[in-house]
Structure 1
Amino acid sequence: MSRSISGSETGSADGSTRSADAVQGLLSSLLRHAPRDMSLTSLAALSTLNRTGPRRITDLAMVEGITQPSATTLVTTLERAGFVERRSDPDDRRVVLVAITASGSDYLRARRRVSTEVFARLVDELTADERSALAAAIPALRRLRELDEEQRDPGPNRTGV
């Protein structure tokens, strides 16, 4: 049986919802500042490859929540841009793996640097107490990212990096 949580209640569900809403709103704001030269799906796939290493297209599609044909198209686009390359699997020469290139890694670092700079300017405008509260939340924010990665990609290619 579910029940509605009123605004006057201060239970953990209400706190979780308020926290999630605040983080979601912040992420949406920050995304508006990001360069628009690549789709979020392409960026997410590139980040996955950077974090986990070479993968089969079918694995990449599963992790990113897209169809295999869409993943194939996405990989072809990233390959033409020089951000990924296809390689033979050393364990099974019939299998093709997709790996990020040095250019792809450089691109991700540059994107992150721009986003970090935008966010850092906003953080600089906070009061000392607000900056301290944000710093105290860093371990929880990192853990949320880990939990998301574990849920999206529980497979053997996951390195936890």
Structure 2
Amino acid sequence: MSREDTDPAAIGAALYGLTLRAVRRLPREMSLTSAATLATLDLTGPRRITDLAAVQAVTQPAMTALVRVLEESGLVERWGDASDKRVTLVCLTEAGTAYVRARREAGVQAFERLIGELTADEIEALAAALPALQHLAELESQDQ
């Protein structure tokens, strides 16, 4: 294996490019920010609008408008926080959960098709890298 193959910048560039192309290929019934907000709620559970705005790097008024559209679409709902009556939490509805899971499954299937075109050695290399990729995902999710 050459030094270029183990260079973190080269690995990062390959992962970023692959992810970007994969995201762009998914169906676009809604904006990427809307889909990412739904995915965040699916992964982390109910969140305040201010938290969602920070995670998605948008303003609170922009997130409020986005949540209103998602609510009108039946994908999220707002609940009061039992521990603090001043707080409103945004939660996925059953339809929102189904949407996120279907979108995730479509992404998995797209990668499965591509992996099916690799050689056995390439598939083995990806399988060997799986623990590191899962750890990367864990590290990234700590930022949310």
| TM superposition score category, shorter chain reference | over 0.9
The CA distance in 1 between the partners of 2:93 and 2:7, in whole Å, is 42
The CA distance in 2 between the partners of 1:130 and 1:84, in whole Å, is 40
Q: CA deviation at 1:11?
A: 7.7
Q: Is the 8 A contact 2:4 2:10 kept in 1?
A: no
Matching of residue 117 in structure 1 with residue 117 in structure 2: no
> What is the aligned partner in structure 1 of residue 134 from structure 2?
142
After TM superposition, where is structure 1 displaced by more than 4 Å over at least 4 residues in a row? none
Q: CA RMSD in A?
A: 1.7
> What is the aligned partner in structure 1 of residue 9 from structure 2?
17
The CA distance in 1 between the partners of 2:132 and 2:75, in whole Å, is 32
Aligned residue for 1:48, secondary structure, equals helix
Unaligned runs of 5+ in 1: 1-8, 154-161
Identical residues among aligned pairs (%): 50
**Bigger Rg over Cα:** 1
| 1:24-47 CA distance string (max 9 Å, x none) | 111122123200111111111111
The CA distance in 2 between the partners of 1:64 and 1:149, in whole Å, is 13
Matching of residue 65 in structure 1 with residue 61 in structure 2: no
Q: How many residues align?
A: 143
The CA distance in 1 between the partners of 2:8 and 2:118, in whole Å, is 23
Aligned residue for 1:86, secondary structure, equals strand
Normalising by structure 2, what TM-score? 0.93
Q: CA deviation at 1:78?
A: 0.8
Unaligned runs of 5+ in 2: none
The CA distance in 1 between the partners of 2:48 and 2:24, in whole Å, is 31
Q: What amino acid is the match of 1:103?
A: A
Q: Which has the higher contact order (CA 8 A, sep 6+)?
A: 1
The CA distance in 1 between the partners of 2:62 and 2:138, in whole Å, is 26
The CA distance in 1 between the partners of 2:100 and 2:4, in whole Å, is 39
Aligned residue for 2:58, secondary structure, equals coil
Q: What amino acid is the match of 2:125?
A: A
Aligned residue for 2:3, secondary structure, equals coil
Given the alignment, which residue of 100, 103, 118 partners 2:95?
Answer: 103
Aligned residue for 2:86, secondary structure, equals strand
Normalising by structure 1, what TM-score? 0.83
The CA distance in 2 between the partners of 1:38 and 1:142, in whole Å, is 27
